[in-house]
Amino acid sequence: MKNLFLKSGLMALLFAGFQSASQGDADAPVAKQMTVNDVSLPYVEQGQGAPVVFVHGAFSDLRAWEPQREAVARRFRFIAYTQRYFGTDPWPDKGEQYSQVTHAADLAAFIRQLNVGPVYLVGRSYGGTVAVRVALQHPELVRAVFVQEPTIAAAAVADPDVQGILKKERGGMASAREVAKAGKADEATRLFADWTNGQPGGFDALPPETRSMHLDNGRTVALHFAAAPPPKISCADLGQMKRPLAITHGELTRPFFKILAETAHNCVPGSQLIPIPGARHAATSQNPAAFNNALLTFLASH
């Protein structure tokens, strides 16, 4: 069960296999489906105790949290789901509902339907932004929030010089945007992955299963770039966070993500900012030992 890199298109087979395993092993992972806002979302559970819900980032799915699954499931109830449009299942429409607003609404509904009370939220990049948005809008659903390099603080950057740095950084995504618009999903995925980690050619250095996951989700890159801008979140808005918040960032991450992580931290009184040594944007897989240690320490303290 070590390499559970799940594909949502195989959920029926996985469900049967996990169910069979769980009959003899109470701690085995179990694949499930939940209908949320008229769409079916696959998810996997493992372990017992306080529920921890994991929200993956862009061009990704629940497989992104494989490096965290076993460590978390030994102490908590690990729950990772695949957001709408991600994974390998057919889309419920042509993708016109792809947005932070949609994904936040789905996450809130997902938590409610779990019917387990407030949950810990763990998010990565885009998923971290979705998690923070839900914590701000629905604090009653959340115990605490732990996120890796969310971008939710983009509108909270006030310094013109820093805004200029962010604008220049965003320009690096132009090639991925154009290639995605041209319908070249695989190439767009590679360029997007290279940009997020600040390493030209870095996509090809990823483990085969990670590359496969990203390519499976390459069809979402065009949706990501074409999505309607989400409602802006100001520094004052972030300051209304009512739940404990920790933000991690890779020690070697590009300026874009470090600036936004630091901005969000400075806007939320009492929040923690935790660097992950030797890692970039994909710190959850680039240094999982350090990320998991920080995560478990945070969960234990809240």
pLDDT digits (tens, 9 = 90+) for 214-259: 999 999 999 999 999 999 999 999 999 999 999 999 999 999 999 9
Given a contact cutoff of 8 angstroms between Cβ atoms, the answer to whether 84 and 97 are in contact is yes
pLDDT(4) > 80: no
What is the widest separation between alpha-carbon atoms in the chain?
60
| Beta-carbon contacts of residue 90 (< 8 Å; ≥ 6 apart) | none
pLDDT digits (tens, 9 = 90+) for 52-83: 999 999 999 999 999 999 999 999 999 999 99
pLDDT(127) > 80: yes
Given a contact cutoff of 8 angstroms between Cβ atoms, the answer to whether 245 and 275 are in contact is no
Q: Pick the closest to residue 92 from 21, 170, 38 (CA basis).
A: 38
% of the chain at pLDDT higher than 70: 91
Average pLDDT over residues 1-21: 41
- In the prediction, which pLDDT does 52 show? 98
Q: What is the homologous superfamily of the domain 8-159+234-301 according to CATH?
A: Alpha/Beta hydrolase fold, catalytic domain (3.40.50.1820)
The domain locations on the chain are 8-159+234-301
The whole-chain average pLDDT of the chain stands at 92
Average pLDDT over residues 158-172: 96
pLDDT(150) > 80: yes
Q: Pick the closest to residue 268 from 71, 74, 110, 135 (CA basis).
A: 135
With tokens 């600040």, the residue in question is 198
Given a contact cutoff of 8 angstroms between Cβ atoms, the answer to whether 125 and 119 are in contact is no
Average pLDDT over residues 88-109: 97
Q: Which pair of tokens denotes residue 287?
A: 């240094």
Q: Pick the closest to residue 29 from 82, 69, 76, 87 (CA basis).
A: 69
Q: Pick the closest to residue 60 from 214, 177, 260, 169 (CA basis).
A: 214
pLDDT digits (tens, 9 = 90+) for 248-300: 999 999 999 999 999 999 999 999 999 999 999 999 999 999 999 999 999 99
Is 113 or 16 the better-scoring residue by pLDDT? Answer: 113
pLDDT digits (tens, 9 = 90+) for 194-214: 999 898 888 888 889 999 999
Given a contact cutoff of 8 angstroms between Cβ atoms, the answer to whether 57 and 126 are in contact is yes
Q: Pick the closest to residue 53 from 115, 2, 6 (CA basis).
A: 115
pLDDT(19) > 50: no
Task: Look up the pTM and report it.
Answer: 0.92
